[in-house]
Structure 1
């Protein structure tokens, strides 16, 4: 049995840990424990709860208001993973600079990134967005259409990215992507980047953005991007959505062509 003196000796250490990692503990509470509890009590998945809130409070046809409403839910009610306003400004700036006509998004989730990307498209631009979970895709479809984007502007493709990417040319008419945004499972970033290369889906000079490369992180993806010789790579430092004290970042890759 541990003596009281030894137990007391650990108190300063535990207090230091709690102070240092309090933001991560809060994230764990809001993103995992609170979501689980609310789902148990309501029987409604968190994505559907967020969707109901946005549908009730956002202005139809106003993409920016849809995004702000979603941010309000995530920061005040219940944390859901999204690009968020801080990293969203990075994405918006790069979209304006590149003005891509063909954009591919991997990981639609609730449609936040899709609305963000679609509002930055030049006239005649088209977004192809891929989501493996049918339930999440159904939520995203509602929010994308609420923001005012039809099927001619945003095509939502349901299926695992490793199955969808090889058939993008034949079945969906995406010949070359000029801008790619990755925001799905981080362990899939490298695999899917290589798939895009293998199927010749990246236009020369294409921009590839990858979210959450610092938290939770995508080290193998970053190592490949920096060492393979096919990309110029930089990381835009930012913070995790709704948690300014948790560092995160968006990787920007510029495709130089096969080597």
Structure 2
């Protein structure tokens, strides 16, 4: 069983279905007490929470879903009218994220895309009906950050100021 699957199993056994905050708390507890996991975590997560609350984005993109932790953390704070998309390249991580997001009860609030960000970004306007993005959370492979920022700029997806 992969680490990501162990985290998911821990969440399913220790969190409350349909309660995003309990899912986040279970992932955090697993990371602090059982095994380190490469997720945002509660300390940095609180910073992201403040930023999301302050900016209240209506259209948001996350690059790098991993296990779904930050997607859950963000989506639980967005208004129900917001469009939130998250992109994950790795099929196995995307499957864990899908189950984690469903367990948290946010499957109808998060558009999960399993693909390379280089393929998804140019399709955001046509395939996902995105005019511009209010916020982008980049948390995937560091070696493609610049490539993806340039793609967002080239495709005129960034709103001024973000």
Both structures adopt the same fold (TM-score exceeding 0.5): yes
Q: Which residue of 2 aligns with 1:4?
A: none
Q: Which residue of 1 aligns with 2:67?
A: 110
Bigger relative contact order, structure 1 or 2 (CA pairs below 8 A, ≥6 apart): 2
TM-score by length of 2: 0.96
Deviations 1:30-83 (A, max 9, x none): xxxxxxxxxxxxxx1111111111111111111111001001111111111111
The structure with more strand, counted as a fraction of residues:
1
C-alpha deviation, 1:111, in angstroms: 0.2
Please state if 1:155 is matched with 2:86.
Answer: no
C-alpha deviation, 1:200, in angstroms: 0.6
C-alpha deviation, 1:150, in angstroms: 2.5
Q: Which residue of 2 aligns with 1:79?
A: 36
> Aligned pairs, how many?
162
TM-score by length of 1: 0.61
Q: Tell me how far apart the structure 1 counterparts of residues 140 and 78 of structure 2 sit (CA, whole Å).
A: 21
Partner of 1:180, secondary structure, is: strand
Q: Which residue of 1 aligns with 2:140?
A: 184
C-alpha deviation, 1:162, in angstroms: 1.0
**Long gaps (5+) in structure 2:** none
Deviations 1:197-252 (A, max 9, x none): 0001111223xxxxxxxxxxxxxxxxxxxxxxxxxxxxxxxxxxxxxxxxxxxxxx
Q: Which residue of 2 aligns with 1:203?
A: 159
**Long gaps (5+) in structure 1:** 1-43, 207-259
Higher-Rg structure is 1
Deviations 1:150-170 (A, max 9, x none): 33x100000111111111111
Q: Tell me how far apart the structure 1 counterparts of residues 114 and 80 of structure 2 sit (CA, whole Å).
A: 25
Deviant stretches of 4+, over 4 Å: none
Partner of 2:57, secondary structure, is: coil
